[in-house]
A and B are shown apart, each in its own frame.
Chain A
Amino acid sequence: MLLKLLLGIWMVAVIVAAFLFAPPAQGFAEPEAARIIFFHVPLAMVAALAFVIAMVYAAKYLSRRDLMDDIKSSISAELGLVFAILATATGSLFARVQWGSWWNWDPRETSIVILMLVYAAYFALRAATESAEKRAALSAVYAILALPPMILLIFVVPRVMASLHPSDTLTSGGLSTQYRLVLYPAALGFLGLYVWLFKIKTALAEVRLKLGRY
């Protein structure tokens, strides 16, 4: 309850700061459009993180065989899919303004689409398996199997192919202090949003499991 209140206030502050505190960025086709990074970048980060968490719970299921781990893995995957869709939508909007087309098959765009395809395939696999134990084991293996290709796509393929996305802005100090002051709290806010949703869904699933309705 407290987390919910804090999160609400925090996100409002972040949204206000994104539009009023941060100055329009120079060097963009539409300086005001740069504000989208406060939403787009955290969404993409949380989408990737949710996938890693889903994979960790998958591995945990395979070693402990606790059905709750499988449920947590699938909840994290569900949330990750929502975040990935939102990151793609915001990215596509920005691409239209900045580069003049909705979609360019830039390596980063490719990797987020593949991330969404992995999630979609994961849920297709879950839907196609009836027994809960078998579903848990198969989808856990698939989540683990999908991680190495994702790492290759995110870190190796952009070095082979040219990318429109800047890859070292955050680490090389290419971002002004004012932008950093909004971007990091925004990332924290979206992370909090993920944690909050995850907790609600987990509590609900736990009750369902106890009632035998899962």
Chain B
Amino acid sequence: MLAATRFKPSSTESPAHSTAPPGPTEMLRRSAAVFQKDVTCEFRTRYAVNAIALFAITTLFAVSFAVGGAGISQTVQSSLLWIIIYFSGMSGLSRAFVREEEARTASALRLAAAPGAVFGGKLLFNLVLLAGLEAVTVPLFVGMMGLQVSGWPLFVSVLALGSAGLAVAATIVAAIVSRANAKGALFAVLSFPILLPLLIGAIHGTQAALESAKFSAGMQDVKLLVSYTGVMFIVSILVFKFVWED
């Protein structure tokens, strides 16, 4: 069945509700369509972008103001960095799903796209949102807190892997929360226990990157982050349809 669809000429447009299971490229294309829709919606109101960016900058200023020029240890610096990233993420990452419920567009989306594509699109959206957040906050944090990074490759990879894991877990929890009644408060409550192993690895790995120039210093943390992100991605894909479809 798969082989038969593969040999079709690529120019024929397959209908969105075709019964054949879509291949990986097709799935990615559909996810990209959902992602594009979300970006368009987001730029109409800029709610998530504003919430996340302002929250991050406010927290960063508060932390920097409180700490001032005092030389704080690298443990505290790496913890503060991840606390800022975690809570900024919590303030905006649930938007992708909650907006669909609030605008009553969820049913239309359910008809228009397969569950896998919806999850993929929302995950992409959250990934881009987090990447944008970090592109602003991390340089500011490094500058304002006078961060001395010894191993840049490790620092950047821990940041990237940590954000990927954060985006995956936040996306599936957002999907759960958007179907419940108390959406705002529940998101952080449900996310924290699930995200804790990731935060431990990310904080530990960032600290290793501040202290040592060698990549191997944080190898264990990188392994923890990779396994966390991989496992959570697979589990999320498997359970998403139970959340999304009634």
Q: Are B193 and A149 in contact (CB under 8 A)?
A: yes
State the Cβ distance, B153 to closest chain A Cβ, in Å: 20
Residue-wise, chain B 79-110 has the 8 Å CB interface mask toward A (1 for contact) of: 00000000000000000000000000000000
| Interface residues in chain B, defined as those with a beta carbon under 8 Å from any beta carbon in chain A | 172-173, 176, 179-182, 186, 189-190, 192-198, 200-201, 204, 220-221, 224, 227-228, 231-232, 235-236, 239, 242-243, 246
A203 near B: Cβ within 8 Å?
A: no
Q: Could you give, for residues 101-139 of chain A, a 1 whenever the CB lies within 8 Å of some chain B CB and a 0 otherwise?
A: 000000000100010011011001100111001100110
Please, how many angstroms separate the alpha-carbon atoms of A145 and B204 in the complex?
A: 23
CB distance from B179 to the nearest CB of A (A): 6
Given contacts A117-B192, A145-B236, A152-B197, contact A138 B224 (CB under 8 A): no
Known contacts being A145-B236, A157-B200, A160-B201, is A152 close to B227, with CB within 8 Å? yes
- Within the complex, the shortest CB–CB distance from A149 to chain B, in Å, comes to 5
Cα A145 to Cα B176 with chains together (Å) = 11
What range describes how many residues of A lie at the interface?
Answer: 20 to 34
Residues of A within 8 A of B243 (CB): 137-138, 141
User: What residues of chain A lie closer than 8 Å to B246, measured between beta carbons?
Assistant: 133-134
Is there an interface contact between A137 and B242, defined as CB atoms closer than 8 Å?
yes
B197 touches A129 (CB 8 A): no
A141 cross-chain contacts in B, Cβ below 8 A: 176, 239, 242-243
Assess the B193–A121 pair: CB atoms within 8 A: yes
Cross-chain contact B179 with A134 (CB below 8 angstroms) = yes
Q: Which chain A positions have C-beta within 8 A of B232?
A: 145, 148-149
Instruction: Among A121, A124, A125, A145, find the residue whose CB has the most chain B CB atoms closer than 10 A.
Output: A145
Query: Is A144 on the interface with B (CB-CB < 8 A)?
Result: yes
Q: Are A160 and B196 in contact, CB atoms less than 8 angstroms apart? A: no
A188 interface hit (Cβ, 8 Å):
no
Q: Which residues of B contact A129 (CB under 8 A)?
A: 179-181
Can you list 5 A-B pairs, Cβ within 8 angstroms, ordered by A? Answer: A124-B190, A138-B180, A146-B194, A152-B228, A152-B231
Knowing A141-B243, A156-B197, A160-B201 are in contact, say whether A148-B190 is a contact too (CB < 8 A).
no
Kindly identify, within residues 155 to 182 of chain A, every residue whose CB is under 8 Å from any CB belonging to chain B: 156-157, 159-161
Is A37 on the interface with B (CB-CB < 8 A)? no
Which of B181, B190, B220 is close to A160, meaning CB atoms less than 8 Å apart?
B220
- Given contacts A120-B189, A141-B239, A144-B235, list 16 more A-B pairs with CB under 8 A: A117-B193, A124-B189, A125-B186, A125-B190, A128-B181, A128-B182, A138-B243, A142-B176, A145-B194, A145-B232, A146-B194, A148-B232, A152-B228, A157-B197, A160-B204, A161-B204
Q: A142 vs B169: C-alpha distance in the bound complex, in angstroms?
A: 11
A151 to chain B minimum Cβ distance, whole angstroms, is 9
CB pair B179–A145 under 8 Å, yes or no, is: no
- Measured between beta carbons, the chain A residues less than 8 angstroms from B195 are 149
Q: Which residues of B contact A186 (CB under 8 A)?
A: none
Name which residue of chain A comes closest to B234, CB basis: A148
- Knowing A121-B190, A121-B193, A161-B200, say if A144 contacts B239 (CB, 8 Å): yes
